Amino acid sequence: MRKKASTADNIYLLSAFAVMAILYYSSSMSYQEQTVQPLLNQWLENEPFRGLLERVAFMYAGSEVSIEASGYVGFIEFFLRKGAHFISYFFLGLFWYLGLRNRVDNPYLTVLLAVMLSIGYASFDELRQSFHPNRTALMEDVILDTAGAVTGIISGLLSTKPRRRRSRVKV
C-alpha cells in the first residue's frame, strides 16, 4: 500500500526543480562567463602535483585531456567542470527518487521514473546548449550526467528503509 506523500516528499520535488533551474541558468552562460581559470591561477600558482598529473592523458569527446593539451589550470578546470556535472545530476536523481518514492506504488517504477526524468533533463540541457553561442552539446556529458543521477538514485535506495508490509490479524 502506498504511503501518503509527506511535506518532506514535496520538499524533495521542489529541490529537484531547484537543481533543474540552477542547471538551466548555468548552461545559459558562456564558457567565458563560467571559467574559473583566473581563480585557479591564483590558488595553484605553484602547480602542486604537476609531476604526478603529467602522466594522465585520455580522450574525452574526441579531444585529448592532458596538461600538455590544456595547460595545468585548464586540466584542473576540466575535472572541476565534469565533477560539477556529476554532482549536480547526483542531486537531481536523488531528489527525484526521494520525492517520488511515496507517490508511486511500485519501487521499480519509482527508480525508472527518477532515471528517465534525470536523463531527459540532461538530454534537454545538452540540446539547448547546442543552440547557444560558445557552448557545445556533448553526448559524453549526457552519459556523465546519467552516471551521476543513477549514483544519486542508488544512494537514495540504500539510505531509505524498505517498506514492510504488516499483516493484519482478522478477528
**Rounded to whole angstroms, what are the CA distances from 98 to 12, 73, 150?**
6, 37, 13
Q: Of 20, 70, 63, nearest to 40 (Cα)?
A: 70
Digit-coded pLDDT (tens) for 64-105:
999 999 999 999 999 999 999 999 999 999 999 999 999 998
For the stretch 35-75, pLDDT in tens is 888 888 888 888 888 888 999 999 999 999 999 999 999 99
Residue 2 — pLDDT band, cuts 50, 70, 90?
low
Quick one: which H or E segment has residue 101?
none
3-state secondary structure of 143: helix
Rounded to two decimals, the pTM is: 0.86
Number of C-beta neighbours around residue 38 at 10 A = 9
Q: Which residues, at least 6 apart from 110, have a Cβ–Cβ distance to it below 8 Å?
A: 97, 100, 101, 103, 104
What does the pLDDT read at residue 49?
86
Listed in sequence order, the DSSP H helices in 56-132 are: 67-100, 107-130
pLDDT category at 1 given cuts 50, 70, 90 is very low
